[in-house]
Structure 1
Amino acid sequence: AGEALLGRVVDGLGNPIDGKGPIKSTERRVADVKAPGIIPRKSVHEPMATGLKAIDAMIPIGRGQRELIIGDRQTGKTAVALDTILNQKAYNEAAGSDESKKLYCIYVAIGQKRSTVAQLVKKLEETGAMAYTIVVAATASDPAPMQFLAPYSATAMAEFFRDNGRHALIIYDDLSKQAVAYRQMSLLLRRPPGREAYPGDVFYLHSRLLERSAKLNSDFGAGSLTALPIIETQAGDVSAYIPTNVISITDGQIFLETELFYQGVRPAVNTGLSVSRVGSSAQTSAMKSVAGKVKLELAQYREMAAFAQFGSDLDASTQQLLNRGARLTELMKQAQYSPMTNAEIVCVIYAGTSGYLDKIGVKDVSRFEAGLLKHLRTAGKALLEDITKKDRKVAGDLEKAIRAELDAFAKDFA
């Protein structure tokens, strides 16, 4: 463990596998330690920004939270996690030498193809995100015990930051493969198989791992460890054994759906089924004040859209709801590797819920958003800084300021 691991790729035992020479770290830690008790903990209250509109607004994640990312294969689970790592770059650079603001990332690849891991590391290096990231890889060609151990040793590396009053984020990609490796080991050891042939203690396998992610109180250094475990489902079956286990351990989940992914809604987050059980206390006031409305309007839209398929003559208010909902759904889309700051998300969502998009065609929403962001990053720089530095509700003078920038941009948009 230690800072010397940052920027390196190691195996499940902490040995370097990136060919950049030995790791100069003297500190060693036990891989499988007991999780912090109840006394050292504190409730989650600081935001952990992912830079993704759909998540930061509707399923916010706090530092010290465990938020499951669940979905079928090829629904963009790793993409969400990767974007979260890339999004920390701006925050870490802005923090300078203030360690309490920085967020170190640990990415654990369990049972993945080597080529996939190499691609990911290349992306992290290109963007300069490797500077604050450790990659732990137990690939498909590694034996089962390595795939089983990798998450634990990676968590021990992450706990180095948590216990020194800093903040870390750990991504387990993915825990279904760890469970499969553990099942293989258990069956070879002749332990009696249980449901789906998994051993009886497979719940404990994941619970003891995820309980180590916590927010510590100030007596213990006020550090935190946030976890984003990933689970792959088979054909959207969330009620299988491992998914239900991990859902019950974590503080919420982000559902990614194949259906949405193919419709072009990316990130393919199903906002109806996704929840964050501690999130709203970790949101900034500005975000909280605009996010509530977008959640409600999208929920009403989903309800109405189901009805609207049957009837043709809809009254004006229903039609308005459907129009607004279609535009908000469009607004929640976001390209990969293009994270947004908290302030930018606030302004964009405010534009959506305040009717600025209602006159624009659904196809033009993304163009409007791109233009608005460009405008805010140049002419509206002061406004973005104001939202970032002085966190307050979007009301009164702040609302006026946001409206002024939106009006200035909207009148020229065509």
Structure 2
Amino acid sequence: MAELLDLSYEAVYAQSDALDPSAGRIEEVADGIAVCSGLRDARINDAVVLGDNIPGIVLKLDEDRVGVGLLAHGELAEGAPAQLVGETLSAAVSTEIGGRVLDSAGMPLDGMPAPATDVTVPVFAPSPPLSTIEGVSRPLATGLLAVDAVIPVGRGQRQLILGDRQTGKTQLAIDAIINQRSQDVVCLYVSIGKKMAEIASIVTRLRAADALSYTTVVAAPADATLTSQYIAPYYGMALAEALRAKGKDVLVVFDDLTNHADAYRSISLLLRRPPGREAYPGDIFYIHGSLLERAAQLSELHGGGSITALPVVTTLSDDLSAYIPTNIVSITDGQIYLRSELANQGRMPAIDIGLSVSRVGSDAQLPVISQLSKGISFTLSQYAELQELLMYDGALSEHQRSLVADGQCLVELFKQPAGAPRDPATTILLLWAFRAGAFNGFSSADAAVLTERLVAVAELNAEYLTTMLAPQLVPGGERFLSEAQTQAMTELLDFARAEMS
């Protein structure tokens, strides 16, 4: 029977020399997945046009069938034609994408005309060769004191943001984008599986903070096809690579890869791939690894540009051992963990310093910030351990009481309102004030007031403070503060204290 079937195929193909190996027809279509016959020249990730100009991508190859994911909604029926485009899925890139909101195919969602295409790049590309990569050595200031002081992020780094829902993950990423306003960094925010109302709110926040002009939003909302949600981060990374090729520093936020993994799991189950742990397919690690490993700092010989990736992952009940979180933790260069318990206490950003880490460390910090932040992580970890003994005050030694007081002050120092990132000069002033003992003997409430006053004084004297600290504000700059700089900051501190009274 099999031999007869093979002969019948050969007879069909031999019947006409005009039979197009790039053409086919839809045999089944449901849930955003089309199963096609024909398409004999199909390769994985090839672009396909289905029916009346509906784009798709080849996701599975069987012996006599091709699984195609739909990139747009549309009316399709069995028997409709399918045609290979002749190339893998590509992204149209324009230098005029700042301030735009695009879908995962590069089409505008903001009601404006489609951006003109400067170059077309493949959506799926290999990570840069090791010979073209340099180590991370330049800081990318997020504007969040807790991050820049203890869990620094460098240009070209991959730093995971993870935590439960409503812990401030998206806000942390948005603050990092807002803080790039004067840092010569191009930003991309890739939204995966969120409601359009939430995406619109994020765009409004970026516009209000004057950050949309250098930011491109790539949105694959919850009502988009599963394949669009799967493609979105790769399209965003392709845009970032095109910008990096021009020597630019790029920050990419993927919000979030949990939704991305869920979309890919649904696609795989619809394509009848064997499920594995938590029903995810066996290649779920590969799809995230192949995405995030494209972020890197290139050497000067290869343009010197960088891509910094901030993937976001949602945990359930603070469970860090789940499949997707552990996968992405092993891919990235560190993680910023937001704990729901801290968020419920009003400690925002709700960063758990003990479980957060940057594997790049001081290489991603200004030397003076690295110097001033020494020992802070240890103090906070000791404070967390001693909190359980606070109700038994007599059980604490004098040294332990000092650690608790320092920890309480650091907690207030690290609290920060949403949408108000702090520049490196303000960060230096706050860390120096803590090191100088300005918070010694202060209650938590007084420490919070002094922090607020110091930030206000820094904003009021921003130009003076930046000029005065100029030698420390460049990568590889001065590690220590001069006597004149210390005297100037002492005067600012005294002014802040005077305002408190």
- Please indicate the TM-score interval, normalised by the length of the shorter structure: over 0.9
The match for 2:19 is none
The match for 1:155 is 237
Distance 1:184 1:68, change over 3 A: same
Q: Please state whether the residue corresponding to 1:4 is helix, strand or coil.
A: coil
The reply on whether 1:243 has 2:335 as its aligned counterpart is: no
Using CA pairs below 8 Å that are at least 6 residues apart, which structure has the higher relative contact order?
A: 1
The reply on whether 1:218 has 2:300 as its aligned counterpart is: yes
The alignment's TM-score, normalised by the length of structure 1, stands at 0.94
CA deviation vs aligned residue, 1:73-98 (integer Å, no higher than 9, x gap): 1100000000011111133xxxxxxx
Whichever residue aligns with residue 310 of structure 2, its letter is L
TM superposition shift of 1:264: 0.9
Structure 1 segment 308-323 matched on structure 2, within 5 A: 308-310=390-392, 312-323=394-405
CA contact (8 A) 2:94 2:117 kept: yes
Bigger radius of gyration among the two: 2
The match for 1:58 is 150
1:325 and 1:17 map into 2 onto residues whose CA distance is 46
CA contact (8 A) 1:294 1:353 kept: no
CA deviation vs aligned residue, 1:212-240 (integer Å, no higher than 9, x gap): 00000011010000000000011111111
Task: Name which of 480, 484, 491 aligns with 1:394.
Answer: 480
1:328 and 1:83 map into 2 onto residues whose CA distance is 20
Whichever residue aligns with residue 392 of structure 1, its letter is E
2:102 and 2:156 map into 1 onto residues whose CA distance is 24
Runs of 4+ with deviation above 4 angstroms: none
Whichever residue aligns with residue 357 of structure 1, its letter is F
The match for 1:95 is none
The reply on whether 1:276 has 2:362 as its aligned counterpart is: no
CA contact (8 A) 2:190 2:219 kept: yes
The reply on whether 1:233 has 2:324 as its aligned counterpart is: no
The alignment's TM-score, normalised by the length of structure 2, stands at 0.78
The match for 1:330 is 412
TM superposition shift of 1:313: 4.1
Structure 1 segment 5-404 matched on structure 2, within 5 A: 5-91=97-183, 102-310=184-392, 312-378=394-460, 381-390=463-472, 391-397=477-483, 398-404=485-491
**Structure 1 regions of 5+ residues with no counterpart?**
92-101
CA contact (8 A) 1:151 1:172 kept: yes
CA contact (8 A) 2:99 2:216 kept: yes
What is the RMSD of the two structures over their aligned residues, measured on CA atoms?
1.6
Question: Which of the two has greater strand per residue?
Answer: 2
CA contact (8 A) 1:59 1:254 kept: yes
2:461 and 2:186 map into 1 onto residues whose CA distance is 32
Q: Please state whether the residue corresponding to 2:375 is helix, strand or coil.
A: helix
TM superposition shift of 1:408: 4.4
- Paired residues in the alignment total 404
Question: Which of the two has greater helix per residue?
Answer: 1
Q: Please state whether the residue corresponding to 2:489 is helix, strand or coil.
A: helix
CA contact (8 A) 1:2 1:160 kept: no
1:408 and 1:107 map into 2 onto residues whose CA distance is 40
CA deviation vs aligned residue, 1:3-56 (integer Å, no higher than 9, x gap): 121111111111111111121223111100111010000000001010011111
1:399 and 1:407 map into 2 onto residues whose CA distance is 12
The match for 2:55 is none
TM superposition shift of 1:355: 1.8
2:101 and 2:449 map into 1 onto residues whose CA distance is 39
2:322 and 2:306 map into 1 onto residues whose CA distance is 31
Whichever residue aligns with residue 317 of structure 2, its letter is A
Q: Please state whether the residue corresponding to 2:187 is helix, strand or coil.
A: strand
Between stretches 23-32 and 362-371, larger displacement belongs to: 362-371
- Counting aligned pairs with the same residue, the percent is 40
**Structure 2 regions of 5+ residues with no counterpart?**
1-92
Whichever residue aligns with residue 388 of structure 2, its letter is A
1:192 and 1:19 map into 2 onto residues whose CA distance is 41
